[in-house]
Structure 1
Amino acid sequence: MSTDFQSARINLGARLRELRTEAGFDGKGIAAALGWQRSKVSRLENGKQTPSPADIAAWAQAAGREDLTGELKARLTGLETQYRSWRRQLAGGHRVRQELGVTESAATKTIRGLEVSRIPGVFQTPDYARHVFEANAAFRQIPRDIEDAVRARIQRQEDLYKPGRKFRFLVWEAALYVLTCPREVMIGQLERLVGLIGLDTVELGIVPFGTQLRRPPTHGFWIYDRRLVVVETINVELWLDDEDNIALYERAWSWTDEAAVYGQQARRLIGRARASLDLS
């Protein structure tokens, strides 16, 4: 989990501890007042557990500082705005998150992205996307609204054909070989990539095996204009909108772009991956 996230959670816990002590409670006392286990109080105060909005409201009431409920919830909202757990985002399935992606794309002129192990969602075929969503639903044990999610993802791709838009994506060559779907589906996906090269709105760079890098890519991310960076981890999705983080991810993208190949060279690398999947 992000160090920034953890630091913010520790600070929130310290604020809760401050209110407890000002109210004259020890840990055992406020646990009894709230009807909680003492261990929960300890985890919250030490930044080892994220409180729910109900936890925040109950704590403020027990400490006799209901007037501070708004402040505490604002701190919590700040955490959840930047660090959105997949468990909460996907509680009802994938469709809602995909529709949010449609909205963000519509408000953006230039999207820069880096993917190291899969094809970018905005370039995926319906069949490839379907396997991505099915695997994710099984892994996260969430509702399988697969077809709704696929439709939303394909709707997002309409922006690829709108004048004035730009999609600048870097794909690590390994992603062309990672099989999370049947071979025939991957063949169709690679052919789709080749067909996108040359579109006025698309710049697709492939980062080849064996190329020298100033810094190896560690994970994927998307940059929306210069206002937002979205980063996926296994348990949370980070939405970062501060200048320092945006500048950091822009540098990560630029350094990787230095090693990428485009146009005919990119076609050759995709073609090589396609040939490796020949079913004959």
Structure 2
Amino acid sequence: MSTDYQRARAALGTRLRELRFTCPGGRLTGQQLAQRLGWPGSKVSKLENGRQTATPEDLRAWADATGQPGVYAELAARLAGFEFHIRSWRRALANGFKPLHEGLSAEIDRTSDMWIWEESVIAGLLQTPEYARHVIRRFAELLGGAGDIEAAVRSRAQRQEWLYRPGRTLHVLMWEAALRSMICPPSVLAAQLDRLTGVLGMDTVELGIVPFTAPVRIAPANGFWVLDDRLVVTEDWHAEMWLDDADNIALYGKIWKTLSESAVYGADAHNVINAARRALNPQ
């Protein structure tokens, strides 16, 4: 999680502790407050120390239990300010790609299941190093800064070790456009498509392709990652967004499921990939 996000969560925890200390009926211990709320004592500690994100229901209960219901609006505003967290690409890339990759890699390392949707590029966890190099270089050229492209390529390749760890499963959907986008030379894309063909046989990867000809219920746009139903990471041209509130996580889960209904798998996915591969070398 980013430094800004952690700082905001810690500040909310400090405010919650202040409310516990300033109860109209006298200061409460953490255990006393937990008993009033019917919570384990560890939850009070985690919230106050910024190790757990409060829900709106948690904040309302806290305000009521400390005899200060009027502060709920303030607490809810604080929560809304960081549960939708935006990290500007330009600001982040001032320090290079490495910190960006390390932050997401740390979250991936503690994830068991991922649901990914990509509409225009091959999903990062399935990219070959050469394909990744072209994608990252084009991005760096657009935004400026970030000269550590090779370090970013190595980091992305190392991240793929996640696929070979016990208990991990990747559910990935891609629009057919991702198979045909010429973000790199034809020879690089051909090798990348060969890599996808090999992935179809992995028991840790469920790969679906949404063909151009498939009927779709929603527009196939806006790539995103859902990590263990606890975090959504999505990107726009100006920023990366991390969402950890329950409503947004549920929304992106619904989007993924809706898109999956238009996807093909197994032999049918293999045929779509092969068609894109043959188009690179028409005879």
For residues 212-259 of structure 1, give each alpha carbon's deviation from its aligned partner in whole angstroms, at most 9, with x where no partner exists: 112122211100011000110111111001111011100000000011
Identity of aligned residues (%): 50
Q: Which residue pairs with 1:270 in the alignment?
A: 273
Q: Distance in 2 between matches of 1:143 and 1:83?
A: 19
- 1:205/1:260 contact within 8 Å kept: yes
Q: Note the aligned Cα RMSD (angstroms).
A: 2.1
Amino acid at match of 1:257: S
Task: Indicate the SS of the match to 2:174.
Answer: strand
Establish whether residue 236 from structure 1 lines up as the match of residue 230 from structure 2: no
For residues 103-153 of structure 1, give each alpha carbon's deviation from its aligned partner in whole angstroms, at most 9, with x where no partner exists: 111110000010000000010000000001111111001122011000100
Q: Which residue pairs with 2:86 in the alignment?
A: 83
Q: Distance in 2 between matches of 1:192 and 1:174?
A: 17
Deviation at 1:79, TM superposition (A): 4.5
Establish whether residue 203 from structure 1 lines up as the match of residue 206 from structure 2: yes
Q: Which residue pairs with 2:140 in the alignment?
A: 137
Report the CA distance shift for 1:80/1:132 in structure 2 as closer, same or farther (over 3 A). farther
- 1:115/1:220 contact within 8 Å kept: yes
- 1:223/1:229 contact within 8 Å kept: yes
How is 1:105-144 mapped onto 2 (pairs within 5 angstroms)? 105-144=108-147
Q: Distance in 2 between matches of 1:80 and 1:204?
A: 30
- 2:84/2:244 contact within 8 Å kept: no
Task: Indicate the SS of the match to 1:266.
Answer: helix
1:174 to 154, 174, 177: 177
Matched residue count: 209
Task: Indicate the SS of the match to 2:120.
Answer: coil
Amino acid at match of 1:119: I
Task: Indicate the SS of the match to 1:210.
Answer: coil
Establish whether residue 95 from structure 1 lines up as the match of residue 115 from structure 2: no
Q: Which residue pairs with 1:13 in the alignment?
A: none
Query: Please, which moves more after superposition, 184-193 or 81-90?
Result: 81-90
Establish whether residue 156 from structure 1 lines up as the match of residue 159 from structure 2: yes
Spell out structure 1 runs of 4+ moving beyond 2 A: 74-81
Amino acid at match of 2:208: G
Task: Indicate the SS of the match to 2:145.
Answer: coil
- 1:115/1:171 contact within 8 Å kept: yes
- 2:217/2:259 contact within 8 Å kept: yes
